[in-house]
């Protein structure tokens, strides 16, 4: 899909990957609604976009795990620019590390990292089928293909996000709906470093597992990868190409891969056995 003159909603757009995506979309001629739980952050991104291309973007503060607020974002896009062509389900949280976390924390991770995607798709897909065109971009993580050391909630919900994106692609791909799934490793955002700043040894482990596994990319580079994939209508977006090699190794010999991951975990914990 060419994004020129298309209408896009970017969630988690107040910075990081979402902010970079919004900027790149506008630079390529799209009209963008930038949504974030922090309305001031979303407004700042829009101010920068509109300084380069006046009127290309509007901002909104929104909890994008809430169906009513997603519906309001879609209505805002419609009133400002026209029907939504692309939806970037980019908002995400790491959640607490470990297994011993509360039901509320599990619910919040599932709501933001998975149900937000499901609820948006439920609102958008029927109209896209009717129009014969639409694009859903899910921000998951390499953790959704591999795993995330230290954080059960993040790993589980990102696996689920990949699974949901796959299902959408298979189920509606022949009806004009395009779906891509972004699975990066380390990206230089607040989210990446939240674990090491949590005071929890498992949270610190989660951050170090990512930062030592490969290059930490800048959000703009990741956004370039996403826009290239949309242009090609390619499902899996891997800004870190080595993730594909790791994924293949996992599928080739699952037990060996699990042993290797435990060994990697021990090395990060300073163990030698």
* Residues annotated as catalytic (active site), given as ranges: 154
DSSP string, 61-129: E--TTSHHHHHHHHHHHHHHT-S--EEEE-------SBS---HHHHHHHHIIIIIHHHHHHHHHHHHHH
**Sole residue written with tokens 């014969």:** 132
Q: Which two tokens stand for residue 142?
A: 């390499």
Question: How far is residue 196 CA from its own chain's centroid?
Answer: 21
Helix (H, G, I), strand (E, B) or coil at 31: strand
Q: Pairing mode, if any, of strands 134-139 and 7-10?
A: unpaired
How many CB atoms sit inside 10 A of residue 225's CB?
Answer: 18
Write the CA distances from 226 to 21, 43, 159, 237, integer angstroms: 8, 23, 19, 6
Contact in structure between 121 and 136 (CB atoms under 8 Å) = yes
Rg of the chain taking only CA atoms, in angstroms? 18
Q: How far apart are CA 188 and CA 225, in angstroms?
A: 15
């Amino acid at each position: 899909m060419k994004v020129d003159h298309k209408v896009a909603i970017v969630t988690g757009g107040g910075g990081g990957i979402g902010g970079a995506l919004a900027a790149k979309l506008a630079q390529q001629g799209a009209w963008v609604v930038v949504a974030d739980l922090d309305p001031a952050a979303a407004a700042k991104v829009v101010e920068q976009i509109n300084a380069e291309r006046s009127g290309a973007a509007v901002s909104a503060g929104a909890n994008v795990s809430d169906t009513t607020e997603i519906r309001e974002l879609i209505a805002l896009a419609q009133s400002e620019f026209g029907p939504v062509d692309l939806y970037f389900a980019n908002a995400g949280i790491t959640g607490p590390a470990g297994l011993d976390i509360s039901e509320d924390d599990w619910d919040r991770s599932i709501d933001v990292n998975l149900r937000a995607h499901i609820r948006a798709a439920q609102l958008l897909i029927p109209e896209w089928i009717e129009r014969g065109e639409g694009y859903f971009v899910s921000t998951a993580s390499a953790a959704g293909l591999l795993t995330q050391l230290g954080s059960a909630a993040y790993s589980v919900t990102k696996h689920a996000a990949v699974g949901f994106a796959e299902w959408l692609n298979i189920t509606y791909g022949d009806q004009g709906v395009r779906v891509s799934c972004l699975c990066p490793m380390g990206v230089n955002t607040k989210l990446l470093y939240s674990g090491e700043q949590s005071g929890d040894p498992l949270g610190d482990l989660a951050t170090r597992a990512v930062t030592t596994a490969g290059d930490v990319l800048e959000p703009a580079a990741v956004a370039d990868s996403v826009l290239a994939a949309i242009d090609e209508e390619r499902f899996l977006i891997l800004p870190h190409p080595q993730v594909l090699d790791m994924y293949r190794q996992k599928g080739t010999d699952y037990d060996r891969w699990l042993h290797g991951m435990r060994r990697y975990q021990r090395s990060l914990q300073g163990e030698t056995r």
